[in-house]
């Protein structure tokens, strides 16, 4: 692989990122998009072609002059593994997928366990790797992860472990471990790109509600990645919340929604619940002036948002890794 010398790495990165939208690009379109000169754009395209990151895709229709060469992302340059962890009162579930760089699913696995421990997770990852090798792995967990160190977690056997470090040592892969609701929030925000401030809440059957907050298009995680753990608000004990989840889940959700609105003031709130068939925010008028109510979007398919968020995080990591590898030669 060619080492970056004369080409500025930031300019290469700028051109590289354009290809991940799945479009077909010409040299002129890229130069207009990035503001780089045609000469610089030409050199960068040759560099990316040489490294097999992009492919030549024929020539554009001529308008009288020379036909322009067209370029596309090499979707198979690398691949991404993702793993979704969920549980109910009895079992622990592991759902994995492999994506190419444009989001096409190349394979998937499902595993049900009874322990929710490291060995079960390794079994699930091994099954996924047997489908196809991948270069990076992103895992969503129902808990708090701080740089791969698991804090509180609904998979109790994974709590207080350096899960990221263990998996990196075992597989020699680039690993990201993130809270499932944060990841779903990233997926949800992709559906509302015009919205600067939004939130996503998830009410599971087991354990407690979680929330992700996107502020100025950035995920707000807090200094220890604890932001959004609404069950620790000082209004109801965990025991009281467990009872409310059984008897009055809508009231519990409403209280936590109002608290969220007072702190973050989101424009849109996505809500998914395993115990409610719908939730419109009835009762907010008892707490908040109407001008501060968010638009509420009830989401039925929580997992699809997680998969979308996993893909987004994984692609960001892959692009960052490629940049670092080629900069270091």
Q: Please write the tens of the pLDDT for every residue from 8-19.
A: 888 999 999 999
Run of H or E residues at 189: helix 180-189
pLDDT per residue over 115-171, tens digit each? Answer: 999 999 999 999 999 999 999 999 999 999 999 999 999 999 999 999 999 999 999
Q: Which of 49, 73, 97 finishes a domain?
A: 73
Residue 53 has pLDDT above 50, yes or no: yes
57 in a structural domain: yes
Same domain, yes or no: 119 and 140: yes
Start-end of H helices in 6-117: 9-19, 27-34, 38-50
CA angle 180, 227, 223 (to 5 degrees): 115
Which residues span the domain enclosing 23? 9-73
C-alpha span between 219 and 183 (Å, rounded): 9
From 18, 39, 73, give the residue that closes a domain: 73
Q: Please give the average per-residue pLDDT across 98-108, as a whole number.
A: 97
Task: Please name the residues in contact with 246: beta carbons below 8 A apart, sequence gap of 6 or more.
Answer: none
Q: Which pLDDT does position 63 carry in this prediction?
A: 55
Which is more confident, 67 or 236?
Answer: 236
Number of folded domains that form the chain = 3
Q: Look at 192 and 66; give whichever has higher pLDDT.
A: 192
Evaluate if residue 322 carries a pLDDT over 80.
Answer: yes
**Does residue 246 sit within a domain?**
yes
1 — pLDDT class (breaks 50, 70, 90): very low
Whether 97 and 171 map to the same domain: the answer is: yes
Please tell me the number of Cα atoms within 13 Å of 221 on its side-chain side. Answer: 17
- Per-residue pLDDT at 171: 97
Of 60-74, 115-129, 305-319, the least confident: 60-74
C-alpha dihedral over 269, 274, 275, 278, to 10 degrees? Answer: 40
Give the pair of three-digit tokens for residue 181: 């609701």
Average pLDDT of the chain? 92
pLDDT in tens, 246-256: 999 999 999 99
- For residues 109 and 171, membership in a common domain is answered with yes
- Domain CATH for 69: 1.10.10.10
Question: What pLDDT shows up at residue 233?
Answer: 84
pLDDT band at 2 (very low <50, low <70, confident <90, very high): very low
Sheet arrangement for strand 174-179: 105-113, 92-100, 79-87, 136-141, 174-179
Spatial separation of the C-alpha atoms in residues 297 and 310, rounded to whole Å:
21
Residue 136 sits in the same domain as residue 268: no
Check: CB of residue 106 under 8 Å from CB of residue 131: yes
């Amino acid at each position: 692989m060619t080492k970056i010398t004369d080409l500025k790495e930031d300019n290469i990165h700028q051109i590289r990122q354009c290809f991940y939208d799945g479009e077909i690009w010409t040299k002129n379109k890229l130069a207009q998009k990035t503001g780089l000169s045609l000469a610089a754009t030409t050199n960068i395209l040759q560099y990316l072609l040489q490294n097999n990151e992009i492919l030549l895709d024929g020539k554009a229709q001529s308008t009288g002059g020379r036909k322009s060469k067209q370029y596309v992302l090499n979707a198979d340059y690398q691949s991404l593994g993702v793993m979704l962890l969920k549980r109910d009162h009895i079992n622990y579930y592991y759902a994995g997928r492999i994506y190419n760089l444009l989001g096409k699913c190349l394979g998937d696995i499902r595993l049900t366990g009874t322990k929710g421990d490291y060995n079960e997770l390794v079994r699930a990852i091994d099954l996924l790797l047997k489908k196809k090798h991948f270069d990076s792995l992103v895992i969503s967990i129902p808990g708090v992860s701080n740089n791969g160190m698991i804090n509180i977690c609904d998979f109790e056997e994974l709590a207080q472990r350096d899960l990221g470090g263990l998996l990196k040592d075992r597989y020699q892969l680039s690993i990201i471990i993130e809270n499932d609701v944060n990841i779903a929030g990233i997926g949800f925000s992709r559906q509302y790109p015009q919205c600067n401030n939004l939130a996503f809440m998830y009410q599971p059957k087991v354990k407690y509600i979680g929330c992700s907050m996107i502020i100025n298009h950035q995920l707000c995680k807090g200094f220890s990645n604890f932001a959004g753990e609404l069950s620790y608000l000082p209004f109801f004990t965990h025991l009281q919340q467990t009872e409310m989840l059984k008897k009055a889940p809508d009231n519990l959700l409403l209280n936590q929604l109002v608290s969220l609105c007072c702190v973050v003031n989101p424009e849109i709130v996505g809500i998914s619940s395993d115990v409610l068939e719908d939730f419109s925010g009835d009762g907010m008028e008892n707490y908040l002036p109407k001008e501060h109510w968010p638009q509420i979007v009830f989401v039925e398919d929580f997992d699809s948002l997680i998969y979308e968020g996993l893909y987004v995080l994984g692609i960001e990591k892959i692009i960052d890794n490629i940049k670092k590898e080629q900069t270091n030669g």
